[in-house]
Structure 1
């Protein structure tokens, strides 16, 4: 089966209604963003759908907002990275009536701001501590964030206001955030980054979440599979599989760490080898 990795520009074209070729008409189009957990889960699903359910797949890499819009408009079939109930609350409010929730992929996820364990040991343990001039000076008045469309970015802006912090949120990609974190740790510089669990960086570095006494960044989250309306009628087995796909967050963290150390493809290969029983359960569930 062919697999097409489409760019953001292609996704934008799809949202404008450009027709796909007849050869692509029956492929399942899955939207994804280059977040560590989303990339791994999407590639696992891609392989199951193609190899076990004998259905072609197109992977459409784009930001999170176009994914929700794409599902609502019928330009995408699936997304496997809907953070609920808080992180993507705005998107659910806007598009929820026009898309379908297929079920929980994993739960006990968490958002927050992270610091190196060494800073935590020095006394930077709470978001409230960031109001101290000493910490603001050491951090250059900056919080390192991720992409502008992420729910975590919106919540981080809200957190800066809620705690009345004189800080700038630096918006960048997940890769840029982790690069900044790595650089700061190697140089023994102070840094605060926006973060979430699951993520490979929690296995790669000694990090601590800052306490959030005001709950500005929310609580435990669940990550859901979402589809366009009518997808289950067109692809009942694939829709059922997305609803059956469920993975323990600790197991997911292990493979995400491996994906960073080696490659996502290597981690997916190992997952299919070592967790074959789990994959069989998903497929059997989809066919019941």
Structure 2
């Protein structure tokens, strides 16, 4: 699904293409490729994308080998990277909200299961077959989930490690039969665009609070590329919209088509993102 991938340049010149990076996650690919389309088609830039490990992105932004990254989960998920590099990068703001947690289908009665603490009820545990459907065993969300089981004394449950794909398959099967299921989850994710799911409240904060997905740029980027920086500061995507794009991309295996469909049907978003940027110069005077 990756589009327009190029290696990151090691030096900056004013006439070079903008250098953006992303990770191999659906939301990162979609958000970054959509930004590329806007920057090229609406704002007259050339853009090169780099698929890079997260740590390499932070380092490359701090050393000015990249211009911007659109996948900084703050303040918790990427706190270690942020603490290391925050003084050598600029934060251009939040693009969309993110969250980690446990979810249930919306048909599970909220008066029976509203919070993680409600899972302790033995009758509730039986309906969930004593299982919390997990993802890859090494994922940070799985480590947090193990801690959550201990914090809430969920002795009747086991955390079932599998994969992100296996988790969505289990969710699909359960929903088709209206079975009860509780699963590890995160937003944005395409499954929220396909099914009606709700997060269980986490009064102890074991799984972390709400996150913001930020755009970070190298120092001096706003001065060198005023128009691009203004666009990235105004580039905000409603979570429901993003998850709709992700769901369409998943169903069709065509992320580029899903992006184009969204942009074609939401011209007001393009105006919102670019109106003030178009009044600014491409490059520094």
2:101 matched to 1:112?
A: yes
| Residues 42-121 of structure 1: pairs in structure 2 closer than 5 A | 42-107=32-97, 109-119=98-108
2:208 matched to 1:215?
A: no
**In the alignment, is the contact (CA less than 8 A) between 1:87 and 1:155 conserved in 2?**
no
**In the alignment, is the contact (CA less than 8 A) between 2:131 and 2:182 conserved in 1?**
no
| Residues 185-264 of structure 1: pairs in structure 2 closer than 5 A | 185-186=175-176, 191-262=181-252, 263-264=254-255
Correspondent of 2:28 among 34, 38, 43 = 38
- TM (norm. structure 1) is 0.74
The structure-2 alpha-carbon separation of the partners of 1:67 and 1:164, relative to structure 1 and needing over 3 Å to count, comes to: farther
For structure 2, list consecutive stretches of 5 or more residues without a partner in the other structure. 281-285
The structure-2 alpha-carbon separation of the partners of 1:254 and 1:231, relative to structure 1 and needing over 3 Å to count, comes to: same
Q: CA deviation at 1:54?
A: 2.7
1:29 is aligned to 20
**In the alignment, is the contact (CA less than 8 A) between 2:134 and 2:142 conserved in 1?**
no
The structure-2 alpha-carbon separation of the partners of 1:145 and 1:179, relative to structure 1 and needing over 3 Å to count, comes to: same
Mapped partners of 2:16, 2:208: distance in 1: 40
2:269 matched to 1:278?
A: yes
Q: CA deviation at 1:194?
A: 2.3
CA displacement, residues 59-85 of structure 1 (integer Å, 9 cap, x when unaligned): 333444443333234443322222333
Other structure's SS at 1:5 match? coil
**In the alignment, is the contact (CA less than 8 A) between 2:96 and 2:239 conserved in 1?**
yes
Q: Which has the higher helix share?
A: 1
Mapped partners of 2:41, 2:160: distance in 1: 42
For structure 1, list consecutive stretches of 5 or more residues without a partner in the other structure. none
Q: CA deviation at 1:208?
A: 2.6
Mapped partners of 1:95, 1:65: distance in 2: 10
Q: Number of residue pairs matched?
A: 271
The structure-2 alpha-carbon separation of the partners of 1:149 and 1:30, relative to structure 1 and needing over 3 Å to count, comes to: farther
Q: How big is the alpha-carbon RMSD for the aligned residues of Structure 1 and Structure 2?
A: 3.6
Q: CA deviation at 1:101?
A: 0.3
**In the alignment, is the contact (CA less than 8 A) between 1:32 and 1:42 conserved in 2?**
no
Other structure's SS at 2:275 match? helix
Mapped partners of 1:92, 1:125: distance in 2: 33
1:127 is aligned to 116
Q: CA deviation at 1:274?
A: 1.7
Other structure's SS at 1:196 match? strand
Larger radius of gyration: 2
Other structure's SS at 1:67 match? helix
**In the alignment, is the contact (CA less than 8 A) between 1:130 and 1:165 conserved in 2?**
yes
